[in-house]
Amino acid sequence: MDRANRKYILTQGPLAFTVGHFWLMVWEQNSRAILMLNKIIEKNEKKCHWYWPHGIGEDEKFVLSDVKLTIEQISEEDCSYYTTRVF
């Protein structure tokens, strides 16, 4: 069987004070996709901090001054069992 030659990072969802470092890792490693396997809140328990912009456009940008990055959501597509967002 041929190897897929894929690289990936496996991490837990960021906490409020590590969101900037999460996005810095995404940027530095040139990650092309982020796959979240849980919801922000499950069974009334917060699993991780909301780490992407809450909407599309200039007014909704996520400014992460601690790591000097700005995240802007370009599009969002809701499907039956998942949501695809482009940043």
Residue 84's pLDDT is 94
Quote the pLDDT of residue 1.
Answer: 56
pLDDT at 7: 82
The CA-atom distances, in angstroms, between 63 and each of 2, 58, 66 are: 42, 11, 9
**Rounded mean pLDDT, 21-46:** 93
Residue 59: CB atoms within 10 A of its CB come to: 7
Task: Say whether pLDDT at 2 is over 70.
Answer: no
Tell me the two tokens of residue 3: 């190897």
Q: What are phi and psi of 21, to 5 degrees?
A: -70, -35
When pLDDT is averaged across residues 6-27 and rounded to a whole number, the result is 92
Task: Confirm if 24 and 18 have CB atoms less than 8 A apart.
Answer: no
pLDDT in tens, 40-85: 999 999 999 999 998 898 888 989 999 999 999 999 999 999 999 9
So what's the pLDDT on residue 78?
Answer: 94
